[in-house]
Amino acid sequence: MTLEILTSAAMRPVQHGFFTRKGGASSGVFSGLNCGRGSSDQTAVVEINRARVAQAMGGDPADLCGLHQVHSADVVVVDAAPNGSLPKADGAVTRTPGLILSVLTADCAPVLFADSEAGVIGAAHAGWRGALGGVLDATLDKMESLGAQRGQIRAVVGPTISQRAYEVGPDFFDQFMSEDPAYGRFFAGGTDDRMMFDLPGFCLFRLRNAGVLSAEWTHHCTYSDPSRFFSYRRSVHNKEADYGRLVTTIRL
């Protein structure tokens, strides 16, 4: 099956892709393009999937520069392909041609950044903790350290869980409100004391407030489209033992 790669006109001419689960070699609950080495999927099959992604990006598997994601606001500068363990971080930036920055998600927001004039790109994994903690702002800071200009940076939020599927409790709400009462705008009423959180909307707010040239969301909900996307929350609701991870990539 052919890979399905979502792209955004805002990122052109920079090569990038929000890969769906279609076109992979995995089976069962991982059916499709599971690129998560941390999953319980067969290691050899995950490597086949990652090789297909690298080929689609015009590179080799060794060019894939991933992260040991920990829901932090830490961002690293990448100037060489990984050799051994991956850095513990949730964002990466580079100005080195040929390297393929990648992040893995399964409801969290994958966010791509590009200043095509300066030749600097970035990728971030933004769950609610990372987004609230400032991983998107930190990615912009690191890009500027490589010569990018914030007012020239375009950002795109890829497939993520949408507000209609993201139910949270009062403790979650209180964490945002204690940070800034204005964040209440990203919550809508749910059942009883539950609320619905707008993760992509919050990411866009943080990006626009940080002064990027443009920020947009692809408007794909991972939870609501099981044929195309893996979803951690959907796997929990379905009482599945594990779940696949989607990959998002960008390269100069």
The answer, yes or no, to whether residue 244 has pLDDT greater than 80, is yes
Q: Is residue 221 part of a domain?
A: yes
pTM: 0.96
User: Does a structural domain hold residue 144?
Assistant: yes
pLDDT tier at 1, thresholds 50, 70, 90: low
183 assigned to some structural domain: no
CATH number, domain containing residue 59: 3.60.140.10
Is residue 191 in some structural domain? no
Chain segment 101-137, per-residue pLDDT in tens: 999 999 999 999 999 999 999 999 999 999 999 999 9
Q: Residue 51: is its pLDDT beyond 90? A: yes
Residue 68 neighbours by CB distance under 10 Å? 12
DSSP 5-70: EE--GGGTTSEEEEE-STT--B-GGG-B----TTSSS-HHHHHHHHHHHHHHTTS-GGGEE--B--
| Residue 53, in any domain of the structure | yes
Coil, helix or strand at residue 97: coil
Query: Residues 143, 148, 151, CA angle at the centre, nearest 5°?
Result: 110
Asked whether residue 179 is assigned to any structural domain, the reply reads no
Residue 133 in tokens: 């903690």
Find the domain containing 25 and state its range: 5-162+198-251
Distance CA 69, CA 245 (A): 12
Establish if 126 belongs to a structural domain.
yes
Burial class (CB in 10 A: 0-12, 13-18, 19+), 204: buried
